[in-house]
Amino acid sequence: MLIEILGHTFNLLYIVALLFKDMLWLRLCLIVAASLEIVYSFYAKDEPLWIFIIWASVWIIINIAQSGTLIREKLNLRFTSDELKIKDNLFSFMKDIDFRKLIDFAHWDAVESGTTMIEQGKEVERLIIIFNGTARVENQGNTIAHLTDYNFAGEIGFITGKNANSNIISEDMLIYLYWNKNELNSLMNKDPNIKTAIHAVFNTDLLSKINKEQYF
């Protein structure tokens, strides 16, 4: 009777594991289930069911290794105060682990007033987020919009692959972060979650600019 309960239990745990969205909990549940399967396979018959025992052991080893990787990643999910501001204002919907991957590819920089950050007619090689400061959007010598904290610059050229249709010029001491286009494209191609997040933030930012008549 007890061995039958054990058999039902480990199979039930395999099913329960698939209900977890968190990958770490899923793998931990699989480890417990496989461990119970090994115990069951030793005592269910007169002779141990070695095929089930061996493959359940392999299953446990793989999931322990993967769980260790996930735990290390969670322990490394520490953000600076500036990184948290970026996340809270633009990427609040992203999982911490995905945002960590994204922000690790970012570069921080600062420029003085009057610096041309993106030049009209030239290839947009960087995707910029203004962290602190103001920049003007200038077309044919005319200022058509202003960008402030947590606004993107260069996203149109990044999306379309076309040259910039406006100059982006800092109006004061400006701090910003940026991603090199090739590096970010490579990351997005490898990780669909990051690609989806980037495009979702683009849409929100563009709507904000349209509402403020800042679209350029």
The per-residue pLDDT for range 31-43, each reduced to its tens digit, is: 999 999 999 999 8
Q: Higher model confidence: residue 157 or residue 116?
A: 116
- Residues 57-64: what's their mean pLDDT? 94
- One domain, residues 51 and 32: yes
- One domain, residues 93 and 123: yes
Among the candidates 36, 57, 75, a domain finishes at 75
User: What is the residue range of 23's domain?
Assistant: 2-75
In a domain, 138, yes or no: yes
The predicted pLDDT at position 214 comes to 46
Asked whether the predicted pLDDT for residue 213 surpasses 60, the reply is: no
The predicted pLDDT at position 209 comes to 65
pTM of the model: 0.64
Residue pair 117/169 in contact (Cβ under 8 Å)? The answer is yes
In a domain, 195, yes or no: yes
DSSP assignment string, 152-184: EESHHHHHH-PPPSSEEEESSSEEEEEEEHHHH
Among the candidates 15, 47, 75, a domain finishes at 75
Question: Which strands, in side-by-side order, build the sheet including 135-139?
Answer: 116-118, 167-170, 135-139, 142-147
Q: How confident is the model at residue 21 (pLDDT cuts 50, 70, 90)?
A: confident
What domain count does the chain have?
Answer: 2
Q: How confident is the model at residue 211 (pLDDT cuts 50, 70, 90)?
A: low
Each residue's pLDDT tens digit, 160-204: 888 998 999 999 999 999 999 999 999 999 998 888 888 888 887
- One domain, residues 47 and 70: yes
* 121 Cβ contact list (under 8 Å, min separation 6): 163, 164
How much of the chain, in percent, has pLDDT values that exceed 70? 96
Q: How confident is the model at residue 63 (pLDDT cuts 50, 70, 90)?
A: very high
Residue pair 23/30 in contact (Cβ under 8 Å)? The answer is no
In a domain, 216, yes or no: no
The predicted pLDDT at position 137 comes to 93
The predicted pLDDT at position 65 comes to 94
Each residue's pLDDT tens digit, 100-126: 889 999 999 999 999 999 999 999 999
- Mean pLDDT of all residues in the chain? 88
Asked whether the predicted pLDDT for residue 216 surpasses 80, the reply is: no
The predicted pLDDT at position 10 comes to 87
CA–CA dist 188, 197 (Å, integer)? 9
- One domain, residues 190 and 150: yes
- One domain, residues 21 and 106: no
